[in-house]
Amino acid sequence: MGAGKVRIEVERSIQQSADESSRAIRSLLAGRGIYALNLISSPGSGKTTLIEALLDRFEGKGGVAVVEGDIETEIDAERIRKHGVQVRQINTRSSCHIQPSQLLAVLREMDLSETRLLIVENVGNLVCPAEVPLGEDTRVVLLSVTEGDEKPLKYPLVFRTSGLLVITKTDLLPYVKFDVGKVRRAARAANPAVEIFEVSAVSGAGLPALLDRIESLRASKAG
Amino acid sequence: MANEVLNVVLSEAERHAARKVESVSLRVGVLRAIEPEHLSFLFSHLAHGTLADGATLDIREEPVRVECAACGVSEARSMPWECPRCRGSSITTRGGDSLDIISLEIDV
């Protein structure tokens, strides 16, 4: 017979207990000393272009591996493959973000013996990818100046949880209404520890500082 | 997300030898893209045939805590540009991004 109703205190975060796959990814990466970036932005903010710049920087410095997430197509993977690095494409189909289980399955198929830096390009979308940690070391949010400066308020979680904010396409600033100072302030209010970079892939402005920072982050985990 | 909530609820319920879960109390931050009604619907759907079949979700909204250099602490239901009280621009925000199970009510 039952003893009746009992209230039990749990006080447990769902994120911390987060799914087994993202824990497995973390330990797989930690065991190999691989530094992982999770790139999140709207479609067309420049994630793939940033990856290409990183590949140029790391060329000859040993292993970069890339995982591309898109609803459909291999277009991004093919673009990256031209740089001669290991790349896998995840097609998420009906899902608007990469699931940890999908990433884990792909990582288990890859040869990561030489890999020092793993770049995951999430599906272009500022909402769902923010809700789902993939076991990354650093989450990078990209915001292009053509998207408008209210994104940190409209999509606060991704700005709260990203270590790096990359403001892209700054060569277009003269033509659009985008207040960089306002974005910097809002991003800092959401996450005081965020590091902010302003870059243009067209002029190259700001890219060296960002690439230096990513290289030093990667080096901090090596060994 | 509903699935992760259910997994934690079921493991806690089993640990306490529950016969049935009556209700689950949750804290959900306003910054999360979680609609309480959707979460409740999905949870009850997934919970069919488990110890948590028929359990209700009691969802408490967690606001954003705004710390303003000029006027102190206030709360907001979305991410603010400026202090919602004095409109000061030197602010920091905390919280509002929780997704916690606070407690369960179970039959033992």
Interface check B107 vs A, CB under 8 A: yes
Interface check A13 vs B, CB under 8 A: yes
Q: Is the pLDDT score of A159 beyond 90?
A: yes
Q: Do A12 and B101 touch (CB under 8 A)?
A: yes
The strand pairing partners of A120, in sequence order, are: A38, A67
Has residue A12 been placed in a domain?
no
Total domains present in chain B: 1
pLDDT band (50, 70, 90) for residue A24: very high
- The interface residues of chain B toward chain A in range 43-62, judged by CB-CB distance below 8 A, are none
Nearest residue of A to residue B102, measured between CA atoms: A11
Q: Could you give the ipTM of this predicted complex?
A: 0.82
State which amino acid sits at residue A201. Answer: A
The reported pTM is 0.89
> Which residue, B5, B104, B80, is CA-closest to A186?
B80
Has residue A110 been placed in a domain?
yes
Has residue B87 been placed in a domain?
no
Has residue B90 been placed in a domain?
no
* Burial tier of A171 (Cβ tally within 10 Å: 0-12, 13-18, 19+): middle
Q: Is the pLDDT score of A222 beyond 70?
A: no
Has residue B82 been placed in a domain?
no
pLDDT band (50, 70, 90) for residue A20: confident
Closest CA–CA distance from residue A18 to any residue of chain B (Å): 7
Q: Do A156 and B7 touch (CB under 8 A)?
A: no
In contact, A115 and A36? CB cutoff 8 Å:
no
Q: Do A17 and B97 touch (CB under 8 A)?
A: no
The more confidently predicted of residues A108 and A13 is A108
Q: What is the pLDDT of residue A14?
A: 84
Selected residue of A14, A16, A149 to mutate for chain B interface (largest B Cβ count, 10 A): A14
Interface check A20 vs B, CB under 8 A: no
Closest CA–CA distance from residue B100 to any residue of chain A (Å): 4
Residue count (chain A): 223
Total domains present in chain A: 1
What sign for the dihedral angle of Cα A126, B9, A104, A138? Answer: positive
> pLDDT per residue over B71-86, tens digit each?
999 999 999 989 999 9
Interface check A1 vs B, CB under 8 A: no
Rg from Cα positions in chain B: 17
Query: Average pLDDT, stretch B28-43?
Result: 93
Non-local CB neighbours of B105 within 8 Å, separated by 6+ positions: A5, A6, A7, A8, B21, B22, B23, B24, B25
> Which CATH number characterizes residue A108's domain?
3.40.50.300
Has residue B46 been placed in a domain?
yes
Non-local CB neighbours of B11 within 8 Å, separated by 6+ positions: none
In contact, B108 and A4? CB cutoff 8 Å:
yes
> Which CATH number characterizes residue B31's domain?
3.30.2320.50
Alpha helices, H only, chain B: 2-15, 36-46
A-B contacts (CB, under 8 Å):
99
Query: Average pLDDT, stretch A101-119?
Result: 95
Q: Do B79 and A15 touch (CB under 8 A)?
A: no
Q: What whole-number distance in Å separates Cα of residue B108 and Cα of residue A3?
A: 6
Give me the domain span that covers residue B53.
2-65+95-107
